[in-house]
Amino acid sequence: MSNKIAALARANVRALTPYQSARRLGGNGDVWLNANEYPLAVPFDLRQQTLNRYPECQPKQVIERYAAYAGVTTDQLLVCRGADEGIELLIRAFCEPGKDAVLFCPPTYGMYHVSAETFGVEHRTVAARDNWQLNLPAIAAQLDGVKVVYVCSPNNPTGNVINPDDIRQLLEMTRGKALVVADEAYIEFCPQATLSSWLQDYPQLVILRTLSKAFALAGLRCGFTLANAEVIELLMKVIAPYPLSTPVADIAAQALSEQGLVLMREHTRQLIANREKLIADLRECGCVEQVYNSDTNYVLARFTNSSLVFKNLWDQGIILRDQNTQPGLSGCLRISIGTREECDRVIAALQALAGASVSREQA
Ligand code: PMP
């Protein structure tokens, strides 16, 4: 019976490996450092009680406040169910299944691939260079038929900002041919790197943002797409009639109030301080081969025996993200920046592991 049902599904969906989100991967931890979330819950009030009514499709106060925060006009903005929905809406509005393609540069965020697969749209990859910057000549050679290029900056999981001059060149080579989508999910950790002021120069530039990271609201599911009005109008054609529930809009507006922004910036400063200490401490650990600099709320590190480290910390309730299967990232684990105490627990566990293997070697 169930086999027959599976046969009814679209072939690309049958073949699809769904995105392995942190929540799907599970684990039994008390130190959750695998989803780049803010480590502490920020309290909000539920003020809107009108749940008998449908919500606004694009809640006015949220749009106005985010536009002011991001320095764009309200017609250059779309609010949706997380940046993930933005990734998907762009494919739905711009890519013809079986004909058009999307392109991205691994190692990078996994949802570009999964969203393209879900819609039966070809996904083309051009590996990043060794320094995790764009390989522009290789991209230029692959652009035929590409409608959307995703560039994650700063990049997940490597933590680096993509060189803006390279993105400018990419925008020049895609003019009139393809959208360039800058995924700025982590931009609050390096606000000077945003491309939002470039929207006026490039009609095909799109920027993705979220409240899930620096705003400490991963559970809210609220993100934004910034683009020229023509792009936004097309996305508005394919978005669900009521993409955000009333409580989501209510809380998002509070997070974007003046007070909310002050709090977010304070949290960001604290996390950056924790990150720099964690990087320095990791560099002193015997089992760590390399720690990469980061402009985000996570750090990527290469370990001498990453599966041992991952498992050993997992067993102690410290949950990291394994990046071994990403191209060029063998031996790498990604560690989200937690509270100072959580970072210290990671270091203590790594030091204990290194100590244990030294004493084994000496025995
Ligand atoms: N882009 C990147 C680079 C991310 O890391 C994430 C979150 N994992 C997202 C988009 C999706 O964010 P959201 O929670 O807003 O859907």
Amino acid 36: pLDDT: 97
Centre of ligand 1 from the C-alpha of residue 196, in Å: 18
Domain boundary among 210, 225, 258: 258
pTM of the predicted model as reported, rounded to 2 decimal places:
0.96
The torsion defined by the Cα of 163, 290, 150 and 172, in degrees rounded to 10, comes to: 20
Tokens matching residue 108: 């990078």
In order of 56, 146, 152, 153, 361, the CA distances from 94 in angstroms are: 25, 10, 19, 22, 58
Instruction: Tell me if 291 is assigned to some domain.
Output: yes
- Do 308 and 201 lie in one domain? The reply is no
- Do 17 and 112 lie in one domain? The reply is no
Atom of ligand 1 nearest to the CA of 86: 16
Q: Is the CB of 83 under 6 A from ligand 1?
A: yes
- Do 12 and 146 lie in one domain? The reply is no
- Do 216 and 309 lie in one domain? The reply is no
pLDDT tens, residue by residue, 164-186 = 999 999 999 999 999 999 999 99
Domain boundary among 199, 232, 258: 258
Atom of ligand 1 nearest to the CA of 222: 15
- Do 236 and 325 lie in one domain? The reply is no
Q: In this structure, what CATH number is given to the domain that contains residue 210? A: 3.40.640.10
Amino acid 259: pLDDT: 97
Instruction: Tell me if 43 is assigned to some domain.
Output: no
Task: Give the span between the Cα atoms of 280 and 332, in whole angstroms.
Answer: 17
Instruction: Tell me if 361 is assigned to some domain.
Output: no
Atom of ligand 1 nearest to the CA of 81: 16
Instruction: Tell me if 360 is assigned to some domain.
Output: no
Centre of ligand 1 from the C-alpha of residue 170, in Å: 22
- Do 115 and 224 lie in one domain? The reply is yes
- Do 74 and 210 lie in one domain? The reply is yes
Amino acid 135: pLDDT: 98
Atom of ligand 1 nearest to the CA of 211: 15
Q: In this structure, what CATH number is given to the domain that contains residue 29? A: 3.90.1150.10
- Do 68 and 159 lie in one domain? The reply is yes
- Do 126 and 196 lie in one domain? The reply is yes
Q: Is the CB of 183 under 6 A from ligand 1?
A: yes
Centre of ligand 1 from the C-alpha of residue 87, in Å: 9
Tokens matching residue 65: 């406040």
Amino acid 355: pLDDT: 78
Residue 15: domain span: 2-38+260-349
Q: Is the CB of 84 under 6 A from ligand 1?
A: yes
Amino acid 2: pLDDT: 64
Q: Is the CB of 210 under 6 A from ligand 1?
A: yes
Atom of ligand 1 nearest to the CA of 109: 3
Domain boundary among 258, 282, 304: 258
Tokens matching residue 268: 């960001």
Low-confidence residues of the chain, pLDDT below 50? none
Q: Whose CA is nearest to atom 15 of ligand 1?
A: 82
Q: How many domains does the chain have?
A: 2
In sequence order, which residues have a C-beta less than 8 Å from that of residue 73 and are 6 or more positions away? Answer: 67, 229
- Do 22 and 95 lie in one domain? The reply is no
- Do 238 and 287 lie in one domain? The reply is no
Instruction: Tell me if 284 is assigned to some domain.
Output: yes
Q: Whose CA is nearest to atom 8 of ligand 1?
A: 35
Instruction: Tell me if 47 is assigned to some domain.
Output: no
* DSSP β-bridge partners for residue 288: 303
Q: Which candidate, 80, 88, 90, places its Cα nearest to that of 57?
A: 80
Q: What are phi and psi of 25, to 5 degrees?
A: -70, -20
Centre of ligand 1 from the C-alpha of residue 23, in Å: 13
pLDDT tens, residue by residue, 299-339 = 999 999 999 999 999 999 999 999 999 999 999 999 999 99
Centre of ligand 1 from the C-alpha of residue 197, in Å: 22
Q: What is the CA radius of gyration of the chain?
A: 21
Q: Is the CB of 297 under 6 A from ligand 1?
A: no
Instruction: Tell me if 357 is assigned to some domain.
Output: no
Atom of ligand 1 nearest to the CA of 218: 14
- Do 71 and 125 lie in one domain? The reply is yes
In order of 38, 56, 57, the CA distances from 288 in angstroms are: 25, 50, 48
Tokens matching residue 33: 């450092």
Instruction: Tell me if 355 is assigned to some domain.
Output: no
- Give me the residue label for tokens 């929905």: 85
Q: Whose CA is nearest to atom 1 of ligand 1?
A: 185
Mutate to test the pocket of ligand 1, among 183, 187, 294 (most ligand atoms within 8 A of CB): 183
